[in-house]
Amino acid sequence: MKFYNREKEVRFLKTYCQLEPNSILFVYGPKSSGKSTVMLRVIKELENSNIVFFYYDLRRYATPTKEEFLSIFFEKSDKKYILNKFEFDLKVFKFGIGKNYDINNKSLNDIFNKIYDGIEEVIKEGKRPVLIIDELQKLKNIYFNGGKSLLNELFNLFVHLTKVRHLCHVICLTSDTLFIEEIYQSSTLENASKYYLIDWLSKEDIKKILKEEGFLKDEIDYCINYLSLPYEISDLIENKKLGLSVEETIRQWINVEKDRIKYVIRNNLNYKDEIINILSLFKDSPTLKNDDLDDELFGTVKLLINNEILFYGVMNGIIKPTSLIEWHGIKELLKLK
């Protein structure tokens, strides 16, 4: 698979991984903007450095249970950390637990001690540990003995590892901006977290890539108003090979999104008028400032965010459709009303 651009983002994250750990980093952005791809690229480019990556991809799992969480993070071994052999082509590690260790009956503190042991071992060997959790919000509903929320406790551990002891970087990736907003408001993480947005590709970058891929000037001039995500470029190339014109592909995408929005409206008829009101705010521009939004509408905006129609960039206060195609889908739908 080709990797397009994202030089700035790769450089930022590579540098970040090599600085002294001092806060938890949340990497966020619209779904499919390329967060995981950029992170994997960074791991690959640093595979011969002295960094030991613990990378956990929770996107693969529907909603992990407590037992699944344990098996994702830990592996039975005499070593304190070992290579994750299921991630082929990627040098990433898991935390080790003794062969006879019955992890399922342990308290959260026991389990966190195992993470700590692994991290200390890496440092003792003169290397630098970096812990990365992809789609971390999936751990939201896991509770341990005594009703402790795994995620809340993990945040305490992460603050300790970064801000307090400077032992290990913790990088969390998520598309769930409402989750980011929750975190941003949380007192545990105040002054202990940083945020990095991986957003749509810029128009200049898209133009450059399309040119390199051999698209004609007319095609580029047409697409540039519709493309924003990296996978759209790959799809467009593939469809062209399959005989579909740029216009046809884009028309199909817009129709799919328009129908998806319609489906969300039909499933939330009580909010229909409000949804239409909100979508109408995007009639002329794909971006809206959170400050310009009536407070009363935010509940319904959340519904649209949860359904991945809108994206909320918590730090810049901008609400926008998840992609430019989504924006055109919204505009098509409004024409029907």
Ligand X SMILES: Nc1ncnc2c1ncn2[C@@H]1O[C@H](COP(=O)(O)OP(=O)(O)O)[C@@H](O)[C@H]1O
Q: Where along the sequence are the contacts to ligand X (CB under 6 A)?
A: 1-4, 6, 29, 31-37, 175, 230-231, 234
Q: Distance between CA atoms of 224 and 202, rounded to whole angstroms?
A: 10
Site size toward Mg ion (CB under 5 A) is: 2
Q: Distance between CA atoms of 266 and 171, rounded to whole angstroms?
A: 38
Q: Between the CA atoms of 230, 236, 238 and 239, what dihedral angle is there, to the nearest 10 degrees?
A: 150
Among 26, 27, 33, 36, binds Mg ion (CB under 5 A): 36
We find the least distance from the C-beta atom of residue 37 to Mg ion, in angstroms, to be 8
Residue whose Cβ sits closest to ligand X:
34
Nearer to ligand X (CB atom), residue 118 or residue 313: 313
Nearer to ligand X (CB atom), residue 35 or residue 331: 35
We find the least distance from the C-beta atom of residue 186 to ligand X, in angstroms, to be 23
Both tokens assigned to 186: 């949380």
Going from the C-alpha of 231 to that of each of 78, 217, 324, the distances in angstroms are: 42, 20, 13
We find the least distance from the C-beta atom of residue 34 to Mg ion, in angstroms, to be 8
Q: Quote the DSSP letter at residue 192.
A: T
We find the least distance from the C-beta atom of residue 122 to ligand X, in angstroms, to be 26
Binder of residue 2, out of Mg ion, ligand X, none (CB less than 5 to 8 A by kind): ligand X
CA atoms within 13 A on the CB side of 265: 18
CB 90 within 8 A of CB 55: yes
Tokens 């993990």 — which residue? 154
Q: Which part of the chain contacts Mg ion (CB under 5 A), choosing from 27-35, 42-50, 217-225, 288-296?
A: 27-35
Q: Distance between CA atoms of 57 and 80, rounded to whole angstroms?
A: 20
Q: Which part of the chain contacts Mg ion (CB under 5 A), choosing from 32-40, 109-117, 162-170, 281-289?
A: 32-40
**197-236 mask for Mg ion (x: CB under 5 A)?**
----------------------------------------
Binder of residue 230, out of ligand X, Mg ion, none (CB less than 5 to 8 A by kind): ligand X
Q: Distance between CA atoms of 231 and 298, rounded to whole angstroms?
A: 30
* One-letter identity of residue 57: D
Residue 174 pairs in a beta bridge with 28
Both tokens assigned to 146: 């005594």
Coil/strand/helix, residue 11: helix
- Helix, strand, coil percentages for the chain (3-state, nearest 5): 50, 15, 30
Nearer to ligand X (CB atom), residue 86 or residue 231: 231
Nearer to ligand X (CB atom), residue 23 or residue 322: 322
Nearer to ligand X (CB atom), residue 6 or residue 320: 6
Binder of residue 249, out of Mg ion, ligand X, none (CB less than 5 to 8 A by kind): none
Give contact residues for Mg ion (rule: CB under 5 A).
35-36
